[in-house]
Amino acid sequence: MPTPQETAYPTLKTQISKETLKRVYAPNADEIAFVKKHSRTLQNRACMLTLLKCAQRLGYFVFLSGIPRSIPEYNLPIVCKTAHIYVVKTIMKLWMINWN
């Protein structure tokens, strides 16, 4: 019997391997440029990129609360490459507080 992730209505796995994160959820240059063009703050960029990658994977949009933390934790440093590490940590703390 197929798992829910393999059906016509796929869902996100709660545990995602590092290889899957790199293969499926890593943004390319065009996606990063799109996110930078259409959002202003680093937190909005991280949210937008996370939603974009999950929608590409699933074929539909989900609420941020339904996305495993490993996906935004993986993408935030990519979006915030030019930001100071303190800013990145602050965003992660704020985002994770609002996550639950």
Per residue in 50-100, pLDDT (tens digit) is 999 999 999 999 988 888 888 888 888 887 776 666 666 676 676 665 554
Query: What would the mean pLDDT of 26-42 be, rounded to a whole number?
Result: 90
The whole-number pLDDT of residue 100 equals 47
More confident position, 16 or 7: 16
More confident position, 42 or 53: 53
Q: Which residue has the tokens 């499926």?
A: 24
Nearest-angstrom CA–CA distance, 22 and 75: 10
Note the pTM of the prediction, 2 decimals: 0.76
